[in-house]
Amino acid sequence: MEDIKNKIIEILNEIIPDVSNETLESNKELVHSGVLNSFSIVMLISELSDAFDIEISPQEIVYENFDSLDGLTKMVARLSD
Amino acid sequence: MKNIVELLNRNALENKNDLALQDEDGFLTYGELFDLVLQRASFIKDLGLVNSPIIVKVSRFKESIVNFLAVLLSNNHYIPVDEDIPLEKLNKIIKASKAEYVISTKEDDSGLKVIDFANVKNVYPFEEFSKDFNEKNYSFIMFTSGSTGDPKGVIKNHKNIISFVENYVSTFPFLGQERIANQTPFFFDASAKDIYLSLKLKAALFIPSKTRFSLPMETIKYLNENKITYISWVPSILTMIAKTRTLNFVKPESLKYVFFVGEVFQPKYLNMWIEALPNVRYFNIYGSTEVMGVSLYYEIKKHFDGESIPTGKALKNNNVYLADGEIIVNSDQVAVGYLNNPESKTFEYSNGKTLLHTGDFANYDAEQNIVFASRKDYQIKHLGYRIELQEIEASLINLDYISQCCAVYDENSDKIVLFVSLNKDIEEANRKILIDAKEKLQFYMVPNKVIVLDELPLNTNGKIDRLNLKRGYQDGRY
């Protein structure tokens, strides 16, 4: 789980480099607050799919999975099983 | 008609109880909208303002449109800006426009006189305003990216808007009292189409919050909940919905018309829409800030096999042609001109007509459709926004630790890549530059990636070698 989380942080640092790791790890509302927008979400989906060799279906692209680092980590863990 | 607000007056008389505007907070009928606009216009009139520029800070709420229409009814013109506009940029707009007043929903730190509608005293009848209507009066000034680093103001009058709505509905006569969902922000020129077309069609205009567009399932849910029939959106959003294969799982059930505008739409993503929703009609429309609305359109009727979707043929009462490959527009929709820049070669004034030299280069296809090919300058379209790469450079070169900078656009990844060289050592330079860039630039102009080099390569003319940097990024050298 920790490995997955660190890899996701690494990817997010690439996509939204101006957002600090503290903000990411505080589990704030990443989508609701606009930290992740439509553009960065598309990049994130493609990076996550490549890095973890998973397929993220549209039903997975919801607030529950994308609004926080924890949500992202859990989704990736579940899909990589 | 001499002022576009006459349409609001008509709608309030004929369709008083019909839905006019709906945002995440609630709705207004045409009757309610008219009353609110009349109150606010009266308040502006009592300030003694006539034919004056008024800055309107906009959000994604119906408030923004109420304010636009109130300014127009009061025989003044508005300058729309993002409520989160960096102060540095706002100051440039204030200086260029000499605006003294602002309407803002947020606390305002610009130093302008704030028009606060909390205490409306007098309400004048519509005729008190309409006696002074004049189609030559300015309606709004839209500031767009300028290559010098200063934003450029494009002036439109009432005649421009009136011609646009009339030409648009006569080109697309099947449009009726649609339910329209707005996507383009109100500080962006493309949004004016939604606002004034809604008035013309007596349509209901829906204003979803920004986050509705972050997750494709949410976007479709919104369209279905509000039974949206018409959208005129930038391809980035439509691409995202297609790319995530959302349409395989959920479809916009009420949608009848998809217009897309502002940037190139890759055929493979449009085809995914056509396959999922074959009964919807799809139109590529072409315009620029220098024209009210659009001047070219092309309908895609079935799976598109070509490489790029044509921008097509002229809208009714528009004369659009190529001169030495450049798209020239001649119509009453062509803007009045640039603010403080009558010498610009973009607008050509002859025999009482205004010709627009768009700076877009194009070809004709076999069916005489105009097909966009390239820009003559470094203007790009990113997420549907129009950006001069040189404006990014001009703003960032002022950072004291940057010695050279060059912004390039990689179409393949949709990224603005900034190359810089520094004059001193800086910790986490990439992150610092991006944070500073957010202070100076609007969000859509902020580079997506920063690459620090010891020195930027120069071409034989001694200028930064833009092409080399771009190719180097694309083939992985940088």
Mean pLDDT over the full length of chain B: 94
Query: What does the DSSP assignment read for B124-191?
Result: --HHHHHTT--TTSEEEEEEE--TTSS-EEEEEEHHHHHHHHHHHHHHSTT--S-EEE--S-TTSTTH
- State the fold for domain B385-474: GMP Synthetase; Chain A, domain 3 (3.30.300)
Q: Give me the residues paired with residue B114 across strands.
A: B102
Instruction: Please judge whether B434 and A31 are an interchain contact, meaning their C-beta atoms are less than 8 angstroms apart.
Output: no
Instruction: Please judge whether B438 and A39 are an interchain contact, meaning their C-beta atoms are less than 8 angstroms apart.
Output: no
What per-residue confidence (pLDDT) applies to B131? 98
Provide φ and ψ at B446, rounded to 5°: -70, 130
Q: With beta carbons under 8 A apart, name residues in chain A contacting B436.
A: none
Instruction: Please judge whether A38 and B236 are an interchain contact, meaning their C-beta atoms are less than 8 angstroms apart.
Output: yes
Is the predicted pLDDT of residue B343 greater than 90, yes or no? no
What per-residue confidence (pLDDT) applies to A37? 86
Is the predicted pLDDT of residue B262 greater than 90, yes or no? no
Test mutation, A12, A15, A36, A39, chain B, max B CBs within 10 A: A39
Give mean pLDDT, residues B64-80. Answer: 98
Instruction: Please judge whether A18 and B434 are an interchain contact, meaning their C-beta atoms are less than 8 angstroms apart.
Output: yes
Of B214, B249, B414, the CB nearest to A41: B214
B240 touches chain A (CB under 8 A): yes
Of A17, A39, A62, the CB nearest to B431: A17
| Residues 241-300 in B contacting A (C-alpha not used; CB under 8 Å) | 243-246, 248-250
| B419-431 confidence digits (pLDDT tens) | 999 999 888 888 8
Task: Look up the CATH number of domain A2-80.
Answer: 1.10.1200.10
CATH number 3.40.50.12780 given to B5-375: yes
| A49-76 confidence digits (pLDDT tens) | 999 999 999 999 999 999 999 999 999 9
Confidence of residue B351 (pLDDT cuts 50, 70, 90): confident
Angle at which helices B6-14 and B191-201 cross, to 10°: 40
Confidence of residue B280 (pLDDT cuts 50, 70, 90): very high
What per-residue confidence (pLDDT) applies to A64? 94
Test mutation, B211, B234, B420, B433, chain A, max A CBs within 10 A: B211
What per-residue confidence (pLDDT) applies to B188? 95
Which residue in chain A has the smallest CA separation from B242? A58
Q: With beta carbons under 8 A apart, name residues in chain A contacting B245.
A: 57-58
Instruction: Please judge whether A41 and B450 are an interchain contact, meaning their C-beta atoms are less than 8 angstroms apart.
Output: no
Give mean pLDDT, residues B170-198. Answer: 97
Confidence of residue B269 (pLDDT cuts 50, 70, 90): very high
Which residue in chain A has the smallest CA separation from B236? A39
CA distance A12 to chain B (A): 12
Instruction: Please judge whether B213 and A18 are an interchain contact, meaning their C-beta atoms are less than 8 angstroms apart.
Output: no
What per-residue confidence (pLDDT) applies to B468? 94
Test mutation, A11, A33, A35, A38, chain B, max B CBs within 10 A: A38
For the whole prediction, is pTM greater than 0.95?
no
Confidence of residue B353 (pLDDT cuts 50, 70, 90): confident
What per-residue confidence (pLDDT) applies to B148? 84
What per-residue confidence (pLDDT) applies to B384? 84
Spatial CA neighbour of B448 closest among B408, B478, B397, B401: B408
B341 touches chain A (CB under 8 A): no
Instruction: Please judge whether A37 and B434 are an interchain contact, meaning their C-beta atoms are less than 8 angstroms apart.
Output: no
Q: How many CB atoms lie within 10 A of CB B446?
A: 19
Token pair 């220098």 is found at: B290
Is the predicted pLDDT of residue B265 greater than 80, yes or no? yes
Q: With beta carbons under 8 A apart, name residues in chain B contacting A38.
A: 213-215, 236-237, 240
Q: What is the value of ipTM here, to two decimals? A: 0.88
Q: Where in chain B is the domain with CATH 3.30.300.30?
A: 385-474
The span from the first CA to the last CA of chain B, in angstroms, equals: 57
B186 touches chain A (CB under 8 A): no
Is the predicted pLDDT of residue B117 greater than 80, yes or no? yes
Confidence of residue B221 (pLDDT cuts 50, 70, 90): very high
Please tell me chain B's helix, strand, coil percentages from 3-state DSSP, rounded to the nearest 5: 30, 30, 40
Confidence of residue B271 (pLDDT cuts 50, 70, 90): very high
B452 touches chain A (CB under 8 A): no
Is the predicted pLDDT of residue A16 greater than 90, yes or no? no
CA distance B427 to chain A (A): 14
Confidence of residue B42 (pLDDT cuts 50, 70, 90): very high
B435 touches chain A (CB under 8 A): yes
B98 touches chain A (CB under 8 A): no
Test mutation, B84, B212, B214, chain A, max A CBs within 10 A: B214
Q: Where in chain B is the domain with CATH 3.40.50.12780?
A: 5-375
CA distance B437 to chain A (A): 10
**What's the longest Cα–Cα distance across chain B?**
68
CA B208 – CA B193 distance, rounded (Å) = 16
B439 touches chain A (CB under 8 A): no
Confidence of residue B139 (pLDDT cuts 50, 70, 90): very high
Of B217, B237, B435, the CB nearest to A18: B435
CA B347 – CA B335 distance, rounded (Å) = 9
